[in-house]
């Protein structure tokens, strides 16, 4: 098992160095903002900002690596009102191996009565699979966030609220299998705060996201002769609570250092297993060059699952027909008294027969193993931003 607390020493060392380093008093004109979550604006009215960013992080279960490239835009309507947008124009998600529990959407064929089969996936990327593209040049877009932030108080501890819609930029099954998102619209409400602290500024955010149900549900089939019982269910994407905390300390007129932390809790039920809440800690440096500000932060995921731990597979013994040619699949189903369901199966989804004991399988089919290994590796990442303010 890897030691996920190993970077704690450098974190404490940086924090101590920031405390004892000479600092320039923070002010509303500093313009340094967290790189890992939205914050209250300190810009003057009518100010505009554009930002290019790269966010590389790891997420469990499945040990996926998420690489987002995007743009953020901000416009200060008034002294207390900011409109903002965030466009993820290229999202690359790589998997160390194909998911041991077949990804949604699934067509599950039961020999006998239908019963629930849980999922194991990352809530923001419920359909991600080895069938998708994991290449930068595939240009799979993510989501577009459009929102508004309102500052309610500016004296002492400043605080405000925000609201945003998160709109999918891709909806095809292939794009979603590449990790583009859930294909549904999400709505986010948040509270924001900032205050001077130890020569710098501390920023905080708490938000709650009402998640959409996803674009492609699961289907379960139970066959009795020529009669097919069909049950369609949402895949179980949970609403999310997100928290962020950052301390940014200016070291000169154009240089600042920061420590940031962000976490996310997804509220899921028994239809999900291996759910994991990440805690990212970032150490950053911010440097202003005229109208540009460059920020670089090293990220560590502190709550990784125990890699290589073995767990029971809820689809153990099921026959996976996902990679079987349609003609061979239909012939196999007909030969086992399941012909009536063949014409109702969807293209491109995972197809699994549950409860069939035959030893003869068509080419491309396999029985799902009784157990699987957790994969959680390479939990270092980074966030890079380049901000322009005219």
Residue-wise pLDDT for 155-175, tens only, equals 889 999 999 999 999 999 999
Mean per-residue pLDDT over the chain, rounded:
89
Other C-beta atoms lying within 10 Å of the C-beta of residue 241 = 15
pLDDT at 12 over 90: no
pLDDT at 323 over 60: yes
Mean pLDDT, range 168-193, rounded to an integer: 96
pLDDT at 26 over 60: no
Residue 303 or 322, more confident? 322
Q: What percentage of the chain exceeds 90 in pLDDT? A: 76
How much is the pLDDT for 21? 47
pLDDT at 22 over 60: no
How much is the pLDDT for 293? 96
Q: What is the pLDDT of residues 209-260, one digit of tens each?
A: 999 999 999 999 998 878 899 999 999 999 999 999 999 999 999 999 999 9
The maximal CA–CA distance of the chain, rounded, in angstroms, is 80
Q: Which CATH superfamily is domain 8-388 in?
A: monomeric porin ompg (2.40.160.40)
Q: What is the pLDDT of residues 28-87, one digit of tens each?
A: 445 699 999 999 887 777 889 999 999 999 999 988 999 999 999 999 998 899 999 999
pLDDT at 13 over 70: no
Contacts of 115 (CB under 8 A, 6+ apart): none
How much is the pLDDT for 15? 46
In DSSP notation, 238-291 reads PEEEEEEEEEEEESSSSEEEEEEEEEEEEE--TTB-S----EEEEEEEEEEETT
What's the start-to-end Cα distance of the chain, in Å? 49
Q: What is the pLDDT of residues 88-137, one digit of tens each?
A: 999 999 998 899 999 999 999 999 889 999 999 999 999 999 989 999 99
CA atoms of 257 and 246, how far apart (whole Å): 11
CA atoms of 268 and 301, how far apart (whole Å): 21
pLDDT at 351 over 70: yes
Q: Are 38 and 192 in contact (CB under 8 A)?
A: yes
**Residue spans per domain, the chain:** 8-388
How much is the pLDDT for 269? 85
Least confident piece of the model among 8-22, 116-130, 189-203:
8-22
Q: Are 388 and 51 in contact (CB under 8 A)?
A: yes
- The phi, psi pair for 281, rounded to 5°, reads -120, 130
Cα dihedral value 84, 86, 87, 90, nearest 10: 160
How much is the pLDDT for 303? 83
| Residue 177: CA count within 13 A, CB half-sphere | 18
Integer CA distances (angstroms), 213 to 82, 118, 121, 182, 242, in order: 29, 16, 14, 8, 19
Dihedral of alpha carbons 51, 90, 128, 310, sign: negative
Other C-beta atoms lying within 10 Å of the C-beta of residue 320 = 18
Strand-pair partners of 23 = none
The whole-angstrom distance between residue 110's C-alpha and the CA centroid of its chain comes to 31
Using only C-alpha atoms, what is the Rg of the chain? 24
How much is the pLDDT for 155? 85
The helix or strand, by DSSP H or E, that contains position 223, with its residue range, turns out to be: strand 218-224
Mean pLDDT, range 140-158, rounded to an integer: 94
How much is the pLDDT for 30? 55
């Amino acid at each position: 098992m890897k030691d996920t607390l190993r970077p704690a020493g450098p974190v404490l060392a940086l924090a101590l160095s920031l405390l004892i380093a000479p600092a320039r008093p923070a002010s509303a004109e500093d313009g340094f903002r967290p790189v890992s979550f939205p914050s209250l604006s300190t810009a003057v009215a009518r100010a505009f900002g554009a930002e290019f960013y790269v966010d590389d992080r790891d997420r469990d279960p499945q040990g996926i690596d998420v690489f987002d490239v995007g743009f953020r835009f901000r416009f200060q309507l008034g002294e207390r009102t900011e409109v903002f947008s965030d466009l993820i124009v290229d999202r690359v998600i790589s998997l160390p191996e194909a998911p041991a529990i077949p990804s949604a959407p699934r067509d599950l064929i039961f020999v006998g009565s239908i019963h629930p089969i849980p999922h194991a996936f990352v809530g923001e990327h419920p359909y991600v699979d080895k069938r998708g593209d994991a290449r930068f040049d595939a240009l799979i877009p993510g989501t577009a966030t459009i929102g508004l932030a309102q500052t309610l108080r500016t004296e002492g501890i400043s605080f405000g609220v925000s609201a945003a819609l998160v709109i999918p930029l891709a909806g095809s099954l292939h794009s979603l299998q590449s990790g583009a998102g859930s294909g549904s619209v999400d709505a986010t409400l948040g509270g924001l705060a900032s205050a001077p602290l130890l020569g710098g500024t501390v920023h905080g955010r708490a938000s709650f996201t009402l998640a959409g149900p996803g674009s492609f549900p699961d289907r379960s089939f139970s066959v009795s002769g020529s009669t097919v019982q069909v049950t369609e269910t949402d895949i179980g994407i949970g609403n999310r609570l997100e928290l962020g905390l950052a301390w940014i300390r200016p070291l000169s007129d154009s240089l600042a250092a920061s420590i940031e932390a962000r976490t996310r809790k997804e509220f899921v039920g028994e239809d999900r297993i291996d759910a994991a809440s990440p805690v990212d800690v970032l150490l950053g440096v911010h440097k202003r060059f005229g109208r540009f500000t460059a920020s670089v932060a090293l990220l560590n995921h502190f709550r990784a699952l125990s890699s290589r731990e073995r767990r029971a597979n809820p689809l153990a013994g099921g026959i996976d027909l996902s990679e079987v040619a349609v003609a061979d699949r239909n012939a196999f189903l007909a030969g086992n008294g399941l012909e009536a369901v063949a014409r109702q199966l969807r293209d491109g989804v995972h197809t699994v027969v549950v409860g069939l004991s035959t030893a003869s399988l068509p080419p491309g089919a396999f029985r799902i193993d009784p157990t699987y290994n957790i994969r959680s590796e390479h939990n270092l990442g980074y966030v890079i931003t380049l901000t322009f303010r005219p």
